[in-house]
Amino acid sequence: MIELFQMGGMLFMSILTIELGVVAYFAVKGFMNGDTNTSKIKSAGLLAAITGILGQLIGLFQAFEAISQVGTVSPALLAGGFKVSMITTIYGLIIYLVAILISLILKTRK
């Protein structure tokens, strides 16, 4: 897990982890207070998904810029770059999925 965290880039992976903490905070607050208003949880999860996609796009931009400077790149190296760029997107979407699941659980507790 730590290796994936480092491969995904410390900046965006740290931001996504903070957003996961925000989702967890609102979830605990909802479970403790019996609050069924899940808009904050969903919004924090959506923010994480968008942050993950932004991280991927910035990583791809940097990779394409490096490729344009070098010239020729092997397909294996290009595939490895795509794989690394998708780490932040996957993490952000997992956080969003967790937020949606938590909001569904809280709504069924009425």
Name which residue leads in pLDDT, 98 or 78: 98
Q: What is the pLDDT of residue 103?
A: 95
Is residue 52 in some structural domain? yes
Q: What is the pLDDT of residue 70?
A: 85
Altogether, the residues listed in the chain come to a count of 110
Is residue 25 in some structural domain? yes
How many Cβ atoms are within 10 Å of 16's Cβ, its own excluded? 26
**In which band, very low, low, confident or very high, does the pLDDT at 82 lie, cut at 50, 70 and 90?**
confident
Is residue 2 in some structural domain? no
Number of domains forming the structure of the chain: 1
Name the residue among 43, 54, 48 with its Cα closest to residue 20: 48
Rounded CA-CA distance 64/66 in Å is 5
| Torsion region of 74: left, alpha or beta (phi above 0 gives left; psi -120 to 50 gives alpha) | beta
Q: What is the pLDDT of residue 110?
A: 64
Is residue 66 in some structural domain? yes
Q: How far is CA 14 from CA 18, 49, 96, in A?
A: 6, 14, 16
What's the one-letter identity of residue 6? Q
Q: What is the pLDDT of residue 89?
A: 96
C-alpha atoms less than 13 angstroms from C-alpha of 38 in its C-beta half-sphere: 20
Is residue 1 in some structural domain? no
Is residue 94 in some structural domain? yes
Mean pLDDT of 7-31: 94
Parent domain of 97: 7-108
**In which band, very low, low, confident or very high, does the pLDDT at 52 lie, cut at 50, 70 and 90?**
very high
Q: What percent of the chain has pLDDT over 70?
A: 99
Is residue 24 in some structural domain? yes
Q: What is the pLDDT of residue 57?
A: 95
